[in-house]
């Protein structure tokens, strides 16, 4: 699921100010002036920024003669620096970036569009890039202009409703009368049990006065989870999960997990959300694949899980095709996104397995494979076949 972003020049800053989605469209027809090269081009540059990094998708439409090879250049006014790219070979010298076609996407007809993307580092973010050119011919001025084409059909990024009344799981834990989880939830230690514990907490809650509390301990044999009794095996084709989670200790360098879903496509082994190298990650138990890849770039494209505050974690697992998306407080996390196109440092390893996941149950808790004690609370958990918001 791509991030729907309007093509109009727009900045949508979050409350935290840490991430913005920005798109601009340049549409300028440059007179041919007898040039044999491109005589005009349109560039849609759609960027998602966060503190320290960004990804950008570019769509370049050729308004000039047909091309057999293309080269797109632009200039960063800020400190953006490209570290990798897809569907183009991209280099940066100083502030100037050059993207050249791959062996298979060089042909660009008149009116044709080619798409490629970059990811990079950015200390303070920066203004939108300028000076776009196709094969050395400027795409026009540096001012942003509204597109003259009709508005895109992509929907706005309005988060879904937080109501979960029709979902298979929709639980605020207010009906948990005892001190240990009961009813629709039960304690489980899938592999081996140690000193980790689960409880119903009446002091800390996101809603009402009750939540689930897990005291997770380091070491492999301290699995401690609370499992929903709901059968999720027919939820789909996209399985949506929303939960509020709070914890006390920053995610460690070692691998940990706090959401574990038995996955029938892995013979019952689990699809897991946890952390590694201090940031959130997905992990597939059967082959230990991670999303994102645990390279510095990949980890930088994920996020830490803030401590001491309730966080809204949402994810969407496509059970019929490659597709996995994750939102933390309504911000999509670029490193926790898998689709059908392998992207270096993100999902190229993850897509080594082509069978889509088929989660059958939901377990919330803690497992650690090294260091890492943590205390976690879960509240307002929903699972269904349509999105549930924060
Ligand atoms: Ca509650």
Round to whole Å and give the CA distance between 278 and 338: 20
Backbone φ and ψ of 159, nearest 5°: -60, 150
Distance (angstroms) between ligand 1 centre and the Cα of 52 equals 35
Distance (angstroms) between ligand 1 centre and the Cα of 374 equals 20
Q: Do 75 and 129 form a contact (C-beta atoms < 8 A)?
A: yes
pLDDT at 39: 59
Q: Categorize the per-residue pLDDT at 372 as very low, low, confident or very high, splitting at 50, 70 and 90.
A: confident
C-alpha to C-alpha distances, 177 to 183, 294, 354, nearest whole angstrom: 10, 42, 44
* In the block, residue with structure tokens 């939830």: 185
C-alpha to C-alpha distances, 106 to 44, 69, 131, nearest whole angstrom: 18, 4, 21
CATH 2.60.120.200 fits 169-384, yes or no: yes
Distance (angstroms) between ligand 1 centre and the Cα of 206 equals 6
pLDDT digits (tens, 9 = 90+) for 89-120: 888 988 999 999 877 778 898 888 888 888 78
Q: Categorize the per-residue pLDDT at 125 as very low, low, confident or very high, splitting at 50, 70 and 90.
A: low
Across the chain, mean pLDDT equals 84
DSSP letters spanning 306-333: -SSS-EEEEEEEESSSS-EEEEETTEE-
Overall average pLDDT of the 376-381 stretch: 98
332 CB-side CA count, 13 A: 20
Question: Among the listed ranges 14-23, 177-186, 336-345, 358-367, which one has the minimum average pLDDT value?
Answer: 14-23
- Cis preceding-peptide flag for 292 (omega within 30 of 0): yes
Name the percent of the chain lying above pLDDT 70. 85
Distance (angstroms) between ligand 1 centre and the Cα of 390 equals 14
> Which three-class secondary structure state does DSSP give residue 299?
helix
Does pLDDT of 145 surpass 50? no
Q: Do 252 and 373 form a contact (C-beta atoms < 8 A)?
A: no
Distance (angstroms) between ligand 1 centre and the Cα of 378 equals 8
Distance (angstroms) between ligand 1 centre and the Cα of 167 equals 17
Round to whole Å and give the CA distance between 370 and 380: 29
Name the percent of the chain lying above pLDDT 90. 59
Distance (angstroms) between ligand 1 centre and the Cα of 329 equals 18
Distance (angstroms) between ligand 1 centre and the Cα of 171 equals 8
Question: Taking the domains of the chain in order of start, what are their residue ranges?
Answer: 12-138, 169-384
Distance (angstroms) between ligand 1 centre and the Cα of 173 equals 5
pLDDT digits (tens, 9 = 90+) for 195-210: 999 999 999 999 999 9
pLDDT at 13: 29
Question: Among the listed ranges 108-122, 171-185, 212-226, which one has the minimum average pLDDT value?
Answer: 108-122
Distance (angstroms) between ligand 1 centre and the Cα of 207 equals 4
pLDDT at 375: 98
CA-based nearest residue to 262, from 239, 244, 237: 239
Distance (angstroms) between ligand 1 centre and the Cα of 202 equals 9
pLDDT digits (tens, 9 = 90+) for 5-61: 333 333 332 333 333 334 444 443 333 222 333 457 888 887 777 677 777 888 888
Contacts of 171 (CB under 8 A, 6+ apart): 184, 185, 228, 380, 381, 382
Distance (angstroms) between ligand 1 centre and the Cα of 210 equals 4
| The two three-digit tokens of residue 287, written as one number | 């082959």
Round to whole Å and give the CA distance between 60 and 56: 13
Distance (angstroms) between ligand 1 centre and the Cα of 32 equals 65
Distance (angstroms) between ligand 1 centre and the Cα of 330 equals 20
Round to whole Å and give the CA distance between 214 and 378: 8
Q: Categorize the per-residue pLDDT at 142 as very low, low, confident or very high, splitting at 50, 70 and 90.
A: very low
CA-based nearest residue to 296, from 56, 79, 120: 120
Distance (angstroms) between ligand 1 centre and the Cα of 309 equals 15
| The two three-digit tokens of residue 164, written as one number | 């979960």
- Residue 174 neighbours by CB distance under 10 Å: 14
Q: Do 72 and 133 form a contact (C-beta atoms < 8 A)?
A: yes
Distance (angstroms) between ligand 1 centre and the Cα of 212 equals 8
Overall average pLDDT of the 351-375 stretch: 94
Round to whole Å and give the CA distance between 390 and 243: 8
Distance (angstroms) between ligand 1 centre and the Cα of 308 equals 17
pLDDT at 38: 40
CA-based nearest residue to 179, from 213, 208, 205: 213
Distance (angstroms) between ligand 1 centre and the Cα of 200 equals 10
Does pLDDT of 144 surpass 60? no
pLDDT at 31: 31
Distance (angstroms) between ligand 1 centre and the Cα of 244 equals 10
| The two three-digit tokens of residue 57, written as one number | 């998708």
pTM exceeds 0.75 for this model: no
Does pLDDT of 321 surpass 80? yes
Distance (angstroms) between ligand 1 centre and the Cα of 335 equals 30
Distance (angstroms) between ligand 1 centre and the Cα of 379 equals 5
CA-based nearest residue to 85, from 334, 344, 297, 338: 344
pLDDT at 299: 96
Q: List the alpha helices (DSSP H) in the chain.
A: 296-300
Q: Categorize the per-residue pLDDT at 180 as very low, low, confident or very high, splitting at 50, 70 and 90.
A: very high
pLDDT digits (tens, 9 = 90+) for 249-295: 999 999 999 999 999 999 999 999 999 999 999 999 999 999 999 99
Distance (angstroms) between ligand 1 centre and the Cα of 158 equals 25
Distance (angstroms) between ligand 1 centre and the Cα of 193 equals 26
CATH 2.60.40.290 fits 12-138, yes or no: yes
């Amino acid at each position: 699921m791509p991030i729907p972003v309007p093509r109009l020049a727009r900045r949508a800053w979050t409350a935290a100010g840490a991430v913005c989605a920005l798109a601009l469209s340049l549409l300028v027809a440059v007179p041919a002036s007898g040039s044999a090269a491109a005589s005009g081009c349109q560039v849609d540059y759609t960027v998602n920024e966060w503190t320290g990094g960004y990804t950008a998708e570019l769509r370049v439409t050729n308004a000039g003669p047909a091309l057999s090879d293309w080269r797109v250049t632009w200039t960063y006014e800020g400190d953006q620096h490209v570290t990798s790219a897809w569907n183009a070979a991209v280099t940066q010298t100083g502030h100037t970036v050059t993207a050249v076609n791959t062996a298979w996407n060089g042909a660009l007809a008149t009116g044709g569009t080619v798409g490629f993307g970059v990811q990079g580092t950015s200390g303070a973010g920066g203004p939108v890039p300028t000076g776009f050119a196709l094969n050395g011919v400027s795409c026009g001025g540096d001012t942003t202009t509204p597109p003259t084409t009709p508005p895109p059909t992509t929907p706005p990024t309005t988060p879904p409703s937080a109501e979960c009344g029709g979902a298979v799981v929709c639980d605020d834990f207010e009906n948990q009368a005892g001190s240990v989880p009961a009813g629709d939830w039960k304690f489980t230690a899938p592999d081996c049990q140690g000193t980790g514990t689960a409880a119903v907490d009446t002091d800390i809650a996101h809603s009402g006065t009750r939540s689930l509390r897990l005291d997770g301990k380091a070491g492999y044999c301290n699995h401690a989870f609370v499992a929903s009794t709901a059968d999720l095996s027919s939820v789909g084709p996209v399985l949506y999960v929303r939960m509020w989670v709070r914890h006390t200790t920053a995610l460690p360098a070692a691998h940990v997990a706090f959401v574990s879903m038995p996955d029938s496509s892995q013979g019952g082994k689990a699809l897991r959300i946890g952390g590694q190298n201090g940031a959130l990650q997905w992990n597939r138990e059967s082959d230990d694949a991670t999303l994102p890849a645990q390279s510095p770039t990949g980890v930088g494209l994920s996020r830490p899980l803030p401590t001491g505050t309730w966080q809204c974690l949402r994810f969407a697992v496509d059970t019929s095709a490659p597709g996995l998306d994750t939102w933390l407080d309504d911000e999509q996390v670029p490193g926790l996104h898998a689709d059908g196109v392998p992207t270096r440092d993100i999902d190229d390893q993850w897509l080594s397995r082509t069978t889509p996941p088929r989660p059958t149950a939901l377990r919330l808790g803690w497992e650690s494979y090294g260091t890492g004690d943590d205390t976690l609370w879960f509240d307002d958990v929903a699972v269904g076949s349509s999105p549930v918001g924060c």
